[in-house]
A and B are shown apart, each in its own frame.
Chain A
Amino acid sequence: MSNSATSPAAPPRNSETLKKLYADMLMIRRFEERAGQLYGMGLIGGFCHLYIGQEAVVVGMQANVGANDQSITAYRDHGHMLAAGIDPNAVMAELTGRSTGLSRGKGGSMHMFSAEKKFYGGHGIVGAQVPLGTGLAFANKYRGHDGVCLTYFGDGAANQGQVYEAFNMAELWKLPVVYIIENNQYAMGTSVARSSAVTEFYKRGASFNIPGVQVDGMDVEKVVEAGAEAIAHCRSGKGPIILEMKTYRYRGHSMSDPAKYRTKEELAEIREKRDPIENFGRKLVEGGVLTEQDIKAIDNDIKQRVVAAADFATQSPEPGLDELYTDVYA
């Protein structure tokens, strides 16, 4: 397979869907900026991994999902939850460790789940979500429905052994799983070139006969198209497929990472030339889909929703002390 131009599998594009892609990306950006701010104020603790720069990947992929499809990712997960349609208030309140959080304050940034939205975490161990996502796909096949599991992981996780154990079983049993490798170029502070013998991650399934496609992960429309084809591939019973999303993380690995391993110029150039939100917004305005006024209105609306989420998250009470011992067992 190769990088496709337009796909018959992709959902129809009208001004509403295009506007939604733009707004969903912007929502993640603004949400993450606010999370970073709350972290700086000491309201969010522990580890906090921001998704800024990578928004097009998850927004483009999730634009394709159907009722039975699931998603699962690692610890850089806030964007995935918002894109899965999870209430930003509940996500932000989990970041601040409050009783109204998605996990009632017991999971935190890295461990959030939504049974309702079929979002299966939120996993803190690099690579662990890959066999888990493969197992969700196994369940879909076992139950005989058309569900596909979108399993996200990074270029760092792609070097974990369990990823290949999962690849082998997924192809052997033709499981409906899309492996989305978010190649943001750095596994924490180690660049792809310094960590990977083969840096073209879409080839990583080759020895299992899993097809792979490299996608411009900074272009949401290309992601939508590639995602639609990949999901169609899985739904037709052909087994797993890999999408390598070439993307970039603007912030450090976590809040305490000054990102000294890359130059300021490298980051500045990507922000200026490849920013997924700026570029897509400009394209929509130039194409007459949105006006500058529309852009402003979207921006304002999102700003209000994010402020509301932050207020909710900082004003909600912490979990009751009796919550310490709940949810250990069913």
Chain B
Amino acid sequence: MSTEILMPALSPTMEEGKLAKWLVKEGDTVKSGTILAEIETDKATMEFEAVDEGTIGQILVPEGTEGVKVNSPIATLLAEGEKPGEAAAKKAAPEKELPKGEDHKDVADKGLETHAPPKIVVGNDPLIPEGTEMVNQTVRDALRDAMAEEMRRDETVFLMGEEVAEYQGAYKVSQGLLQEFGERRVIDTPITEHGFAGLAVGAAFDGLKPIVEFMTWNFAMQAMDQIINSAAKTRYMSGGQMGSPIVFRGPNGAAARVAAQHSQDYASWYAHVPGLKVIAPYFAADAKGLLKAAIRDPNPVIFLENEILYGRSFPVPKLDDFVLPIGKARVVREGADVTLVSYSISVGLCLEAAEKLAGMGIEAEIIDLRTLRPLDTDTVIESVKKTGRVVTVEQAWPVCSIGSEIAARVALDAFDWLDAPPTRVNGKDVPMPYAANLEKLALPTVEDVIAAVKSVTYKA
């Protein structure tokens, strides 16, 4: 009886990949450890080894096939005495299983959401000149381009962090930067967050403009003192004599199945601190335009990215120097019935919920905050005055969250316009569990957003 060789998952967030190259052919004998194929994910190309011994019966997925789903059969392994061809009936065409449409590559990222991300982004950014040509780009590449452009423009900008140079970035955000800018400006650090964060702040005191990549924001806890006590407060403590023109960036929030110590949204921690600016984009254009702004900003900027979003493609304006203002939220969908306020990956939940709500006759206005400090409350208040209802949506824990702050501001500044209590949708108030079912339960879903909207529109 032949066994199937299945497409392997090579990272916590991978759901599909490209079968780049077969290193065995039908009829070859393999044993445990034989390298069968090269598999390409959006982060890396990896070799795939055999676990069992036997003879390769049939290759089911030809090399070069993209979008091969994890766990789909890619070849058969014959048992002793079995002849090739007996398993032929099983031949599958995994491509056909993929959803149609131009954004099928993003299916890999849907792990944390119960549905595919919305295909249509409603509303254009008024900050992008009308008629600008847009090109699709991943958030990952948009971030890389932002850094590269600023490094070309300003010799004092450099990138420092774990695996940013030779490894090309743990999440491949710094791909190609070492090759372009050399080791003086793209610097691999030891695993020493407290130390290199402090070192970079010291360099910023001297007027250099470091970009510090934390492999994830979870590890920045080690560097918290330098971020808060040294970077955020020095301008004030020195009576304006010196400051820290520095960007701290990296993935924030839950990835997939990496559990409590690797799955926290730190947005409200940093948004709490005067002296810091905090940015958490969803779209690739915002990632690019705001990272460029952050690098130019003379203040310390916390730039919260999201691992799941790195691989997602969105339109990015084709402009030589696209810089967005820090501190401006964006209405990404207009609607008259309820205001959804969100940031980072949860904006995707809102967009999807809004489509479903529209089918129920509820038109949601969606505000992507983009910047969390300074918070663009004007845009939120203006919207709430129109809709009379506000639901905040974020992955972070509910207590003292960004949603808490929005609720407080709305209650203070738009109290008379409210037709329902400000309502929050958050991650559950627990450390992130590992088990797949519990993790799903711990994160906010489209259904949670819909339920909250129904409750504030009294349609529950």
Q: How far is the CB of A232 from chain B (nearest CB, A)?
A: 22
Question: Is the Cβ of B235 less than 8 Å from the Cβ of A330?
Answer: yes
Contact with B along A184-196 (1 / 0, CB 8 A): 0000000000000
**Is the beta-carbon distance between B238 and A328 smaller than 8 angstroms?**
no
B330 smallest CB distance to A (angstroms): 22
Within 8 A of A (CB), among B187-246: 189-190, 192, 194-208, 225-226, 229-230, 233-243, 245
Q: Among A132, A142, A161, which residue has its beta carbon within 8 angstroms of that of B205?
A: A132
> Once the chains bind, are B194 and A131 in contact (CB under 8 Å)?
yes
Contact A135 B198 (CB under 8 A): yes
Within 8 A of B (CB), among A52-104: 70, 72, 101-104
Alpha-carbon separation in the docked complex, A101 to B203 (Å): 25
Given contacts A106-B239, A139-B208, contact A134 B202 (CB under 8 A): yes
Q: Is B55 an interface residue (CB 8 A)?
A: no
Determine if A222 is an interface residue (Cβ-Cβ < 8 Å).
Answer: no
- A122 in the interface (beta carbon within 8 A): yes
B299 on the interface (CB 8 Å rule)? yes
Interface size on B, residues (CB 8 A): 41
Q: CA A162 – CA B194 in complex, angstroms?
A: 6
- Most A CB within 10 A of own CB, among B196, B230, B239: B239
- Give chain A residues whose Cβ lies under 8 Å from the Cβ of B289: none
Residue of B nearest to A163 (CB): B195
Q: Which residues of B contact A114 (CB under 8 A)?
A: 241
Q: CA of A142 to CA of B160 in the docked complex: distance in angstroms?
A: 13
Tell me whether A197 is interfacial, beta carbon within 8 Å. Answer: no
B181 to chain A, nearest CB (A): 12
- Bound form: Cα–Cα A134–B198 in Å: 8
Q: With both chains docked as a complex, state the minimum distance between the C-beta of B1 and any C-beta of chain A, in angstroms.
A: 56
> Which residues of B are found within 8 Å of A134, using beta-carbon distances?
195, 198-199, 202
Is A259's beta carbon under 8 Å from chain B? no
How many contacting A-B pairs (Cβ < 8 A)?
A: 147
Asked whether A128 lies within 8 Å of B275 as measured between CB atoms, the reply is no
- Distance in Å: Cβ of A126 to nearest Cβ of chain B: 10
Q: In the assembled complex, which residues on chain B have CB atoms less than 8 Å from the CB atom of A123?
A: 229-230
B85 at interface (Cβ–Cβ under 8 A)?
A: no
B237 touches A106 (CB 8 A): yes
Which partner residue on chain A sits nearest B245 by CB separation?
A: A330
Complex contacts, A120 vs chain B, CB 8 Å:
202, 205-206, 242
Q: Select from chain A the residue with minimum beta-carbon distance to B229.
A: A125
- Residues in A with CB closer than 8 Å to B192 are 165, 168-169
Chain B 288-314: CB-based contact to A (< 8 A → 1; otherwise 0): 000000000011000000000000000
Q: Does any Cβ of A come within 8 Å of B397's Cβ?
A: no
Q: How far is the CA of A102 from the CA of B237 in the complex (A)?
A: 10
Q: A136 interface residue, CB < 8 Å from B?
A: yes
B274 at the A interface (CB under 8 A): yes
Task: Please state if B229 and A124 are interface contacts (CB–CB under 8 Å).
Answer: yes
Contact: B195 with A165, CB < 8 Å? yes
Q: Which residues of B contact A327 (CB under 8 A)?
A: 235-236, 238-240
Docked complex Cα distance between A135 and B241 (Å): 18
Most buried by B among A111, A112, A168: A111
Shortest CB-to-CB span from B182 to chain A, Å, is 12
Binding site for B on A (CB under 8 A): 70, 72, 101-107, 111-115, 120-125, 128, 130-140, 142-143, 161-162, 165-166, 168-169, 172, 326-330
Given contact pairs A131-B198, A330-B298, enumerate 19 new A-B contacts (beta carbons under 8 Å).
Answer: A70-B206, A103-B238, A107-B237, A112-B238, A113-B241, A115-B238, A120-B206, A124-B229, A128-B226, A128-B230, A132-B205, A132-B226, A135-B203, A135-B206, A138-B199, A142-B208, A162-B198, A165-B190, A329-B275
Please name the 7 residue pairs, one residue from A and one from B, whose CB atoms are nearest each other, closest first.
A135-B202, A165-B195, A131-B198, A139-B206, A104-B239, A132-B202, A113-B238
7 contacts between A and B (CB under 8 A): A103-B241, A121-B238, A123-B230, A135-B198, A139-B202, A169-B195, A329-B277
